[in-house]
Chain A
Amino acid sequence: MSNVIIQAKDVTKTFMISAGFFQGKRPLHAVNGVDLTVNQGDVVALVGESGCGKTTLARMILGLEPLTSGSVEVDSKPLAGQNRLDVAKLLQPIFQDPYSSLNPRKSIGSIITLPLKVQGDQNPDTWRRRAEEMMELVGLPRRVFQNYPSQLSGGQRQRVAIARALINRPRVVICDEPTSALDVSVQSQILNLLQDLRSELNLTYVIISHNLAVVEHIATKVAVMYLGRIVEEADTETLFTKPQHPYTEALLSSVLTPDPNLDVPDTHLGAAYPNPVEPPSGCTFHPRCAKVMDHCSTRSPKAIPTSEGSVECHLYDKAQGAAA
């Protein structure tokens, strides 16, 4: 059943950013050599702090951002050179910010039916009905069909974005923080909806989230990103029960479960997130790492295959005699 639907190989994205008025531009390696395989039916979660490159990676998979190097294959065909309409039938995004992802001058109805129009759907008579069904599915009242995004709450706007992405029933949905703008009761509805659609239509998701409780619940596979690299990748069960990378451990310890008997955890991630323009030498995580060793600041670790995925940390690098 492992039908590869998205395959990213050694993907790199470098932005040239201005460092000051009289200075030249400097490179920012937003995504720095990432391999990611998504199988049909998988729910792959990309987790990490802001600025770790997870959104950039997702945008590259969607074909919205040209690659600096590497390749992305969708359904065994390279993304580069494919017709955008064909890609859009396969892949649909749900963006993080529902305020900027909806055209403020279009009505909700026309936003949701636009993908049908773009794909040249043959039954315009059914558009309104299908849009309304979709609106109901995502928890939007039908009366907002004629409204404009500015008349809706942030939560409702995100539902419009979800309805728009799902109306053509794509095979892969790339959700960038799909529920972070939603209320808890709505979040659970959307998660349930995503789960239902997944089993009904054999959908595949790539979910970007910083909410690890959500990730643990919905994902089958998790990739933890730090400063443009995937530092640990494993199936959800393994990652949450036996995290290997110290960064994964810190992330997991920062999850606040609603237990009144526990206090706020100390994540031991003292230093702030480093400036991605000047990443630390060696292992980029070493200034914040609780298990840092001497050679961490000088040598970058390589991805080490594990039984369930991979981990990028000197702790597991047996060749260097530093096995944990």
Chain B
Amino acid sequence: MAERILTVDNLKIDIPVPAGMLHAVQGVSFKVDRGETLCIVGESGCGKSLTSLAIMDLLPGKAIRTATKLELDNENVLDITEDKMADIRGNRMGMIFQEPMTSLNPAYTIGNQMEETLIRHRKASREEARDRAVFLLEKVGITAARSRLRQYPHQLSGGLRQRVMIAMTLMCGPDLIIADEPTTALDVTIQAQILLLLAELQKEFNMGLILITHDLGVVARVADRVAVMYAGQIVEQGSAKQVFENPTHPYTQGLLECIPIPGKTARGSHLGSIPGIVPSLIGEMNCCHFAERCSYASNPCHSAVVDLRPGFTNAHDYRCVMSPEQCADNLKQKVPA
């Protein structure tokens, strides 16, 4: 059995807004093993980024985080002091953000920012830290690494900056990396390189990786496990193969029909779409969150909360009143049309 690196159980994030309480994340649970890649996929506002910030305890001040369990390497990190959390953040958990220009400090050199991590957490000397920075910059494929240390973020291209970000998160050899849309701001050609790099490094350093993205293509290629989020909840969770080849939840099925696939989708044909808009998460919702937009919704969907339940296999959960077989049938009937 693989070593568990992160356990998140029943994570909730509530944000007080003028109109009431915004339940941004409503009871999300997942686990990540060492060497495993979990992709959290969903559309804007589904709570995927807040979930990642909650794990790092970086939520905006007024957001309220509650959970039954939040463990990093079997250690509770839920109710620890900010001092202790600061020791963990950047040390045992690293985070890569979407836009490397805004997440690097423009006023400091690359070297300064990279070395700081190791000096802060490991009490390393400047020289040790510099050697480690050079080693990692070379690891992420940056040439002339030693001279790069003196450069400022604006002197680097987007792809290089993201490589620097990755190298920086690796400085302390973290157990877990959370990458929030790491390639969205990059060109497709660079995107492939960065993903390839992340996958290689993850294997080499045997880390857990949480990749947050809305790009299903990225998910399919890099994920071991996939969690599909919708309106603050996980609606389907399972192995990448399971979710992509036998999508069960109507939302997952809908998402997969929305994207044109070269060679499969007839050119110029109508793509699938999910009618309606995401429900407001302010106030209590005592129904299936997807019911308003679901073409299979029936009375029970509108009147009761739907819980996650096991799908085809033990490692596959979905949140729908229909049986897995029924969901699969729905999909089959749609395909030939």
- A-side residues, CB < 8 A to B, are 49-50, 139, 141, 153-155, 183-189, 191-192, 195, 210-214, 216-218, 236-237, 240, 250-251, 253-267, 269, 272-273
Contact = CB atoms under 8 A, between A and B. Distances in A.
A240 B262 contact: yes
Contacts of A211: 188
Given A184-B43, A258-B256, A216 B267 contact: yes
10 contacts: A155-B44, A185-B274, A188-B260, A213-B217, A236-B267, A255-B262, A257-B220, A258-B216, A269-B193, A272-B190
Contact of B255 (A141, A184, A212, A218): A184
Contacts of B44: 153-155, 183
A256 B39 CA distance: 15
Interface in B238-265: 240-241, 243-245, 254-265
**Interface size of B as a range:** 35 or more
Contacts of A263: 199, 221
Contact of B216 (A184, A253, A266, A272): A184
A210 B215 CA distance: 14
Contacts of B212: none
B120 to A, nearest CB: 30
Contact of A188 (B196, B222, B259): B259
Nearest to A49: B187
Given A191-B271, A217-B271, A257 B189 contact: no
Contacts of B196: 264, 266
A259 B213 CA distance: 16
B195 interface: yes
Interface majority SS on B: helix, strand, loop or mixed? Answer: helix
A261 B216 CA distance: 13
B270 interface: yes
Contacts, number: 139
A318 B266 CA distance: 36
Given A195-B268, A251-B189, A273-B157, A257 B258 contact: no
A188 B272 CA distance: 7
Nearest to A191: B271
Interface of B: 43-45, 157-160, 187-193, 195-196, 199, 214-223, 240-241, 243-245, 254-265, 267-268, 270-274, 277
A260 B189 contact: no
A251 B274 contact: no
A153 B43 CA distance: 12
A259 B220 contact: yes
Contact of A139 (B159, B258, B277): B277
Contacts of A216: 260, 262, 267
A188 B44 CA distance: 15
Nearest to B266: A217
Given A188-B259, A254-B188, A254-B192, A260 B245 contact: yes
B189 A269 contact: yes
A262 B272 CA distance: 23
A210 B272 CA distance: 21
A218 B259 CA distance: 12
Contacts of A49: 187-190
Ranked nearest first, the 9 interchain pairs of A and B with the lowest CB-CB distance are A256-B217, A217-B260, A188-B258, A183-B43, A188-B271, A258-B220, A185-B274, A260-B240, A49-B187
Contacts of B159: 272-273
A266 B258 contact: no
Given A217-B268, A251-B189, A256-B218, 15 more contacts: A50-B187, A141-B277, A183-B44, A184-B216, A211-B188, A254-B192, A256-B217, A257-B220, A257-B262, A259-B244, A260-B221, A261-B241, A264-B195, A272-B157, A272-B160
Contacts of B241: 260-261
Nearest to A256: B217
A49 B216 CA distance: 21
Contacts of B261: 213, 257-258
A258 B192 contact: no
A270 B307 CA distance: 47
A266 B220 contact: no
A261 B243 CA distance: 12
Given A195-B270, A264-B192, A255 B217 contact: yes
B273 A185 contact: yes
A195 B188 CA distance: 24
A188 B192 CA distance: 23
A35 B310 CA distance: 58
